Amino acid sequence: MTQQQPPWPSPGSSSSSNPRGKCWLILVLMAVLPMVPDVGALPFLFSHIKPQINWTQPEMESWVIEEQPRSIEPHLEPVLHPNRTHRALSSDSTDAEFLQRLVSMRHNQTASSRMLWYDVAGGDGLVYPPFVDKALKLLNLKQVAFEIENSVMSKVTCTACRAGAGMLQHQIQSGKTDAELIRMITDYCTNLNIQSARVCQGVAQLFGSELIYVLKRVNLSPDELCSFVIGDGCADVYNPYHEWEVIFPPVPKPPRLADLPIPMEAAPFFKVLHISDTHYDPHYAEGSNADCNEPLCCRLSSGRPATPNAAAGKWGDYRKCDTPKRTVDHMLSHIAETHKDIDYILWTGDLPPHDVWNQTKEENLAIIKDTVKQMVEMFPGVPIFPALGNHESAPVNSFPPPYVNQVDISISWLYDELDIQWRRWLPQSVTHTVRRGAFYSVLVRPGFRIISLNMNYCNNKNWWLLLNSTDPATELQWFIYELQSAEFSNEKVHVIGHIPPGHSDCLKVWSRNFYKIISRYESTVTAQFYGHTHYDEFEMFYDPHDLNHPNGIAYIGPSVSPYYDLNPGYRIYYVDGDHDATTRLVIDHESWIMNLKEANLYGYPIWYKLYTARAAYNMKALRPSDWNNLLNELTNNQELFELYYKYYWKNSPARPTCDAECKKRLICDCRSGRSHDRKHFCAEVESKIDEESSKSWKSWFYKGLTNS
């Protein structure tokens, strides 16, 4: 599918010319559909013959990018903070004291990765219906559920997806009504004890009709469908419907520097707060069951706890529970009191909780309004730059592109309200793009711009993209226009969003195009900021033709929600400020957390600085080259990696141990700013880790023989 080349501003013209996979249940339901005892349908399970559906390309509306208003007046008025300093390289005795206290903590070693249901062999009391016993063993649905929930896919999930997609397409072609299909999904979900009856019914009603609507209108085989949704865990099936390229203007790329300059010490800077993945749960109930068998617990509806240890804590819980109001209130009060000199805030989405089976548009809008009101009251006069998360829609992950404009399925109910709420902080010029696709561009200071992207248009759990994934809402083409205008105006840009572009939840074709854009405008984009994963991590970007040249860094901020096995947290960044030699790079960053175990034990939370990046990792700066050097050290230095792993989990006592496979995955996640392309980025890293692991094993074996 081709794009029309938009007109571009000439160099001499003025710039004024603007959590894991949350839909796991639908794929599991698709996986169990082949268990229908319908012998006549069996040939359709792995059919390579495409269903005979008349596929028509959705009508694309015309939207002229260069005619949209742009933010050209600086939006932030700097506030003078007397005696404010940032000691980037100095030691911090307060940090040392806290770290010493953390070392002396007694970790809870009983925690392990939790499944969506318990193991029958372990005596959980669940008995699966006899007619699916063999199918359960064949498809290994427990593994499927675990992989989808944690966005780590394998051939197990791929096989189940292909089988379920083939059967569901067959049932649609056989003439079953939407009501019959939804009832069938509900029945099988309930009969297989995948979830409680209410969760099965809610998910089938919320997601089933949307999925059926889309599948009726696409001409894709099960192989193509599952490759689209799962990515490199399900082969790389070529699909011409979902291959596209953005168009770059005919402007030469500026010569790249051998390395970026290190920001000047003692120069002015901006202090920036980053909050992500709040997942505020208005129905959280202290003392309720935290160990339920549903996607979200710690509510009165979760039932009574079986034991005292299964009761939800006062300030939150490490199990599948979101953030109680008192914790959100306490965190914001702490931030307002501790960081009185914040210049602006990055707010990267995911406000509603994980009760994905019974959410409504009205409830999600109420949470958005309440949270915005709270932020305005807690940080009066502080500019806030928000980005849209994947949980703000109802159902979750459902973000139809603009060409889906029917009243009952259009996304305008959300985007129109976001425009109203976000306008408390953003200029009038963003209205057009926010209402179109929930993205915008704002000039923060002269020579410094923030661009907020709607990363749900790269979300492979967004079923609407199966209809047409070609640059939804023309967002990436608009992004190029903004970056080119910024390059002409000698502006530096920070990009914010929710889903990191290198995460497995991001479509491969979208991520590939985004990666090209970052490479082309590496001299303009100086930092990126995301959330979604709930962990404390980062992603690297490299020249696509030279992996020895790092050209970008994405900071992935920790979640406020403890969901799950995590401590609540937030980030503070120090950004190179207004001066003649400014780089607009991040000078340093701090991660702050609250130890949930201690808060529940002593009845009161204490928020403290867990670490500062440069001091913890002994980095002279935070340029892409410095982060690349750190990646190499993490690969070769096990002690340093264990420190990173502790910070990655926000020092949670419930974190599992990390073996060689875990280490490869985490380091590869950092190295891969382009999704579903681990073979390209990670072969060398994985080989080194395998080699070190082999040496360690041989050393252990040799010492054992020697001691014997």
List residues forming the annotated binding site. 277, 279, 350, 390, 498, 532, 534
- What is the number of other CB atoms lying within 10 angstroms of the CB of residue 620? 11
DSSP per-residue string spanning 430-493: GHHHHHHHS-EEEEEETTEEEEE--GGGGBTT-GGGGT--SSGGGHHHHHHHHHHHHHHTT-EE
- What is the number of other CB atoms lying within 10 angstroms of the CB of residue 25? 27
Q: Could you tell me the strand order of the sheet in which 344-347 lies?
A: 384-386, 344-347, 269-275, 569-576, 586-594, 607-612
> From the centroid of its chain, how far is CA 147?
16
Distance, in Å, from the CA atom of 122 to the CA atom of 479, rounded to the nearest integer, reads 52
Element (H, E) at 156: helix 155-173
What three-state secondary structure class fits 278? Answer: coil
Distance, in Å, from the CA atom of 689 to the CA atom of 288, rounded to the nearest integer, reads 43
Distance, in Å, from the CA atom of 528 to the CA atom of 466, rounded to the nearest integer, reads 27
Question: 322-337 burial by CB neighbour count: b if 16+ within 10 A, else e?
Answer: bbbeebbebbbebbbe
Would you list which residues are annotated within the binding site for Zn(2+)? Answer: 277, 279, 350, 390, 498, 532, 534
Token look-up 């300093």 returns 85
Token duo for residue 381: 């006069």
Token look-up 């974190």 returns 655
**Cis omega before residue 7 (within 30°)?**
no
Report which of 75, 82, 81 is spatially closest to residue 383, judged by C-alpha positions.
Answer: 75
- What is the number of other CB atoms lying within 10 angstroms of the CB of residue 708? 5
> Would you give the DSSP letter of residue 532?
S
Amino acid at site 393? S
Contact 222, 46 (CB under 8 A): yes
Token look-up 């963003």 returns 430
Distance, in Å, from the CA atom of 284 to the CA atom of 34, rounded to the nearest integer, reads 37
Distance, in Å, from the CA atom of 645 to the CA atom of 658, rounded to the nearest integer, reads 8
Token look-up 């129109």 returns 416
Element (H, E) at 588: strand 586-594
Contact 141, 31 (CB under 8 A): yes
Contact 456, 462 (CB under 8 A): yes
